[in-house]
Amino acid sequence: MQTTLIKNDAVVFGILLGIIYFTFYTSTLQHRFWQKFYLFFPSILICYFVPGLLNSFNIISGEDSKLYEFASKYLLPACLVYFTINIDFRALKRLGPKAIIVFLAGSLGVIVGGPVALWIVKNVSPASVSGETWRGLATIAGSWIGGSANQTALKEVFKPSAEIFSQAIAVDVIIAELWLALLLFGVSKAAQIDKWMNADTSAVDKIREKVEREYAENQRNPSFTDLLLILFVGFGATALAHACADVIVPLIGNNFPNLKKFSLTSSSFWVISLATLFGLILSQTPARNIEKVGSSKFGSIFLFILIGTIGMKMNLIAVFERPTLFLVGIIWMFFHASFTIIAAYLTKAPYFFTAVSSQANVGGAASASVVAAAFHPSLASVGVLLAILGYAIGTYLGYLTGLMMQWVMI
């Protein structure tokens, strides 16, 4: 039996933060090498797989470490609060119906595509998706409707094994990045695409002007009190979610044990669901102003710490043991793309809404803002706004998709 080189979690945590910082620092450099490197290996992939390499070569041990337990219990719910508290329903309304329709069509494509793709591959190659494989694939639904935070939330709900989840991460990231590359290629052809679809692009110009003005008026540097308020809101909502779950779970377990198959006796399910709900409720109160001083940045930091701790549990040797799983991802993405494009064509939505809405689903805030900024830097926040909507619904719709995938495998 091989021994682990580094066993102290304090040391491991420092290493994880070093990996995350180095990844994001180098990803911002204009050096040609780093630009090409991150074109093929996105930041989120590095933050998953470098800790996975350290675990695979017994430098650290994800199995023995308590870091993931801490991150999933405390940082994940707070992260979901920070991402959903910034949702502005009035701003979403100002985007117009086309953006929302295309976004929701893309979400529907994920909901329908997952179970159908699983059914097709099950009939073509049953061994590829046998056993509990659906549990790992179900987490992709959370990622492709919302983002990595939703995926991690569903990991806590469906509890796939580390090996299966590692394989699901590979399918998720690689297929999603290929789709992102296609969307970015389309940016250079946006005028031709809009002409072909007879789309009205005037709304995009109005949005750009309004976003630039609002950003200049609202942003400010946080004070010490602001930072404490951000932490209190995130972890206060997390505490309340845990307190409610401690009451709800025994109540359901004792009185409605049959609901266990729907994960309704899982403490993680209730903590995650309630944290998201509390974030949505707080978004309609003055508490939403914490975003003006950077609450979503805290959410992003917590998320990537969580991603690093998940990566620690990966066995990278097992990741590509079932390459046919990528067939599930390809078919699944085809459904998402088809639903998105058809909705855009029917509503005459400009390519900007098509590309950004799709990435708000599949890639979350980071890649949605990248796609939006490719049209114009001031439009990046439009991608974030739609992605926040994805964070708000991703866990719930991903959970529904997961139940459908479970039904397919029965």
- C-alpha distance across the termini of the chain, in Å: 38
Are the C-beta atoms of residues 136 and 164 closer than 8 Å to each other? yes
Give the chain's domains with CATH numbers: 9-409 (1.20.1530)
**What's the length of the chain?**
410
Band (99; pLDDT cuts 50, 70, 90): confident
Q: Which pLDDT band, with edges at 50, 70 and 90, does 316 fall under?
A: low
Residue with tokens 């070093």: 18
**Nearest in space to 75 (alpha carbons), one of 128, 17, 122:** 17
Helices (H) and strands (E) in the chain, counts: 20, 0
pLDDT interval class at 216 (50, 70, 90): low
Q: Indicate if the pLDDT at residue 117 is higher than 70.
A: yes
Q: Predicted confidence band at 391 (pLDDT cuts at 50, 70, 90)?
A: confident
Residue 212 has pLDDT above 60, yes or no: no
pLDDT (average), residues 307-320 = 75
The residue-averaged pLDDT of 125-135 equals 89
Question: 357 with 384: CB under 8 angstroms?
Answer: no
Q: Give the residue carrying structure tokens 């979610």.
A: 241
Please write the tens of the pLDDT for every residue from 8-63.
999 999 999 999 999 989 988 988 999 888 877 778 778 888 998 898 888 998 88
Q: How far apart are CA 329 and CA 336, in angstroms?
A: 11
Is the pLDDT confidence value at 211 over 70? no
Question: Which tokens is 6 given?
Answer: 């580094």
pLDDT score at 370 = 63
Range of lowest pLDDT (12-26, 84-98, 196-210): 196-210
374-384 burial code (b ≥16 CB/10 A, e <16): bbbebbbbbbb
Mean pLDDT across 331-340 = 96
- State mean pLDDT over 82-107: 83
Are 118 and 373 in contact, with CB atoms under 8 Å apart? no
How far is the CA of 137 from the CAs of 68, 141, 304, 322, in angstroms?
Answer: 20, 7, 21, 13
pLDDT over threshold 70, residue 208: no
CA 375 – CA 347 distance, rounded (Å): 20
Cα distance between residue 269 and residue 257, in whole Å: 15
Q: Which of 299, 305, 311, 309 is nearest to 68 (CA)?
A: 309
Residues 91 and 107: their CA atoms lie apart, in Å, by 20
- Does residue 152 register a pLDDT over 70? yes
Return the higher-pLDDT residue of 25 and 170: 25
Q: For residue 285, what pLDDT band results from cuts at 50, 70 and 90?
A: very high
Distance in angstroms (rounded) separating the CA atoms of residues 400 and 388: 19
**Cβ-Cβ contacts under 8 Å for 67 (sequence gap 6 or more):** 9, 12, 13, 16, 309, 312
Distance CA 311, CA 12 (A): 12
Backbone angles phi, psi at 256, to 5 degrees: -135, 65
- Closest to 395 measured CA to CA, from 153, 85, 113: 153
Global confidence as pTM: 0.73
pLDDT at position 209? 66
Give yes or no for residue 217 having a pLDDT over 70: no
Inter-residue contact 4 to 60 (CB < 8 Å)? yes
Residue 405 confidence (pLDDT) above 80:
yes
- Gap between the Cα atoms of 180 and 190, Å rounded: 15
What is the gyration radius of the CA atoms in the chain, in angstroms? 21
> By percentage, how much of the chain surpasses pLDDT 90?
35
Q: For 201-338, where are the E strands, in sequence order?
A: none
Q: Work out the average pLDDT over 389-408.
A: 91
Predicted local distance difference test score (pLDDT) of residue 237? 96
Neighbours of 247 (CB within 10 A): 10
